[in-house]
């Protein structure tokens, strides 16, 4: 059985401090409708600092998302990211215009706007 790493605000804080997705590789996207959580996206991050360790993050109650890829680019190395909390929503961009900004930018790429998330190692 999978062991929950953390969820929601606790996961937000851990991703900002001690779980590092910088330099990770995305190994899997899974997008589906959950009866309980609405539109849900799961992303598997293969972590650099713990080789072979994969962190699966489930983004729940997704309000908006956008990802783009084409065959001229490698799939998918996380060079930088932006994770922000806005009242009752969270926002993750894996290709932000400015990762130090605390605002959502229309120039951010590869993003998810969601109201809950959880993670575990697979």
The per-residue pLDDT for range 21-80, each reduced to its tens digit, is 998 999 999 999 999 999 999 999 999 887 679 999 999 999 999 998 888 777 788 889
Please, are residues 118 and 6 in contact by the beta-carbon 8 Å criterion?
Answer: yes
Distance CA 116, CA 4 (A): 14
Place of tokens 């998810």: 112
Distance CA 115, CA 33 (A): 15
Domain with 14, as residue range(s), is: 4-121
Residue 109 has pLDDT above 70, yes or no: yes
pLDDT (0 to 100) of residue 51:
67
Distance CA 122, CA 110 (A): 23
Tally of domains in the chain: 1
Which one, of 85, 75, 86, lies nearest residue 44 by Cα? 75
- Is 16 strand, coil or helix? helix
């Amino acid at each position: 059985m999978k062991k929950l790493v953390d969820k929601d605000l606790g996961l937000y804080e851990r991703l900002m401090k001690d779980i590092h997705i910088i330099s990770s590789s995305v190994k899997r996207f899974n997008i589906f409708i959950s009866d309980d959580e609405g539109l849900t996206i799961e992303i598997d991050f293969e972590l650099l600092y713990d080789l072979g360790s994969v962190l699966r993050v489930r983004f729940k109650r997704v309000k908006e998302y956008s990802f783009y890829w084409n065959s001229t680019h490698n799939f998918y190395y996380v060079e930088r990211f932006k994770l922000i909390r806005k009242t009752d929503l969270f926002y993750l961009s894996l290709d932000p215009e400015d990762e130090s900004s605390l605002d959502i930018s229309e120039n951010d790429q590869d993003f998810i706007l969601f109201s809950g998330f959880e993670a575990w190692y697979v």
